Structures are given as C-alpha cells and as structure tokens.
Amino acid sequence: MALVGNIQDFGLSDFLYLVDRGYKTGCLHLNRENEMAILFFEKGKLTYAALCHDEKLTDFLVQAEKLTPEQAGALTQAYERSGRNLPMTQVLLKEDLLPQEELQRTLQTHVEEEVVYSLFGWPEGAFRFEHGQKPEFESPILPTPLSIENLIMEGVRRIDEWGRIRDRIPSTDLVARFVDQPGEKAKGVKLAPEEWRVFARINGKDTMASIAKNTNLSEFDVCRIMYGFATAGLVDIIKKPTAAQLAQGAQDQPKLRRSLVSRIINRIQTM
C-alpha cells in the first residue's frame, strides 16, 4: 500500500529522514498545482530525481554538452545490444563514453541543485510513496547513490538562507546593475571564481534566472552571490528594464559599463 499525505503536514525533510532511517526502496511522487517531481531511493539512498517522468539519460547528457548526438546514438545502440538489462548509466561507463567521476558530478549537480533543493521551498504539495518502485533503466540514474543526511542538512540550510535572500531578491526575474560608486562596505571584497562568473554577467538587463542559465550555476547560488554584491554596495537590484528603457541607454552602455566595471574593480583592489 502506498503512503500518501501532504508535505504541509509532514515536511519533506521529515520524510527523507524516514526513508534514510528506514532503509527504504521506492519512489516518492510529489505534486502541487501544475508541478510534479519524482525521487527514487535504493536502501535509503537517493538514486535519481527529476521534475518530469520521461527524462532520458541520452537527452540529458546531450543537452548538458557531455555527449554529442553521435555519441548518444552509439550509447542507445549499445544499450539495445545489452538487452536493456542494465541501467543505461552502466552501459555508458562500460562503453567508456564518459569518465565515472564526470558523470557522477554532472548528474549529482542536476539532482541536487535543479530538483531536490528546489523542493524544500514547496510550502505544500501532495506526496505518494510507492514502495519498491524503481526508475526506468534509460533514466539518468546516479552511479553512486547520494546520502540523504547531507541532502537534508543542505536543504534546510538553504531554506533559512533563502528567507534572508528573498527579502532583497524576491524574484529571479529581477536584474542587477552596478552602482555609480561602490560604498565602504566593498572594502576588502575578494571574489571567488564563481563570483567572478556572475560579476562578469552583470549588465543591467539580464535577469537572475538568465545569468544562472548562462553560467551553469543554480538560481540559488546566483541570488546568493547577488545578495552579497548588493550587501557590499556593488550593485542595485531592480526590475527588468522595458524595451524602451534599454533602447534609450543602449548607445552609451558599452562605454559606461567598461568604465564602471574598471572603476569598481580598481576600487575593490585598492581598498
């Protein structure tokens, strides 16, 4: 018999803790309005998670630019030759089309950043746990299942951090633009590599969501970094400019941006 309920009454972290401690195998189905998600577990560890039911390993890896379409076709043929008796991830590794470490890192980032951590922000949603249900062999199954304990701790931390970030960045449709003069709070700012990636994308017109997509960072990480920039007095968070506003400032924008970014970088480095 399936276990059913609502995460408003029985939180996701509580359910994951139950799966972990109970050494459970099966699939957790989550639904709210027009959104849905599935999480598969094997003996208490997460093996696969997605926001749709028909995700295939070949499609995912081509989209992630980890395989070419030709390599994806070769993988499909090898999978057919195997008799479909093994997960496609195992066939991929046997065919040596991608190192296991890179495959694990790519799938783990997708599962954690784009699926699991986003679910911790759901205030409500119906759930159903089907005991013993396993993913299709063509799904992007993780070579090494993930520990539930780490997912719970990081998910809860992000809920708390999101609460603070949302006060200043309530939507990923907002835009960041450089301030004319960085404030004293910018003193001593040192940017990590991922922060430089976000910094370089600030142009006063690209949204947080767009920057996340173009930098291959999660929306959470981009908003967290932008929150830090805003707190340090480097940027203002504004609504996305209209087409007319963009057209009006387009002529002077390249020169202004180069000058402004140079001043900000020099100011940070010399403080």
Range from 59-73, 219-233, 238-252 that averages highest in pLDDT: 59-73
What pLDDT does residue 54 have? 76
Q: Of 131, 161, 191, which residue constitutes the final position of a domain?
A: 161
Q: Identify whether residues 149 and 15 lie together within a single domain.
A: yes
Strand partners, 223: none
Task: Indicate if the pLDDT at residue 1 is higher than 50.
Answer: yes
**Same domain assignment for residues 104 and 11:** yes
Which residue range(s) make up the domain with 65? Answer: 3-161
Give phi and psi for 176, each to the nearest 5: -110, 140
Angstrom distance (rounded) from CA 107 to CA 214 = 18
Average the pLDDT over each of 87-96, 219-228, 246-255 and give the range with the smallest value.
246-255
Contacts of 8 (CB under 8 A, 6+ apart): 123, 124, 125
Asked if 130 and 27 count as a contact pair (C-beta separation under 8 A), the reply is: yes
Same domain, 148 and 175: no
What pLDDT score was predicted for residue 256? 47
The pLDDT of residue 175: 96
Q: Which two tokens stand for residue 243?
A: 């087409």
What's the pLDDT at 6?
92
Q: Residues 6 or more apart from 92 whose CB is under 8 A from it?
A: 57, 75, 98, 103
- For 178, residues 6+ apart whose C-beta sits below 8 A from its C-beta are 202, 204, 234, 235, 257, 260, 261, 264
Are both 137 and 217 inside the same structural domain?
no
> pTM of the entire structure?
0.72
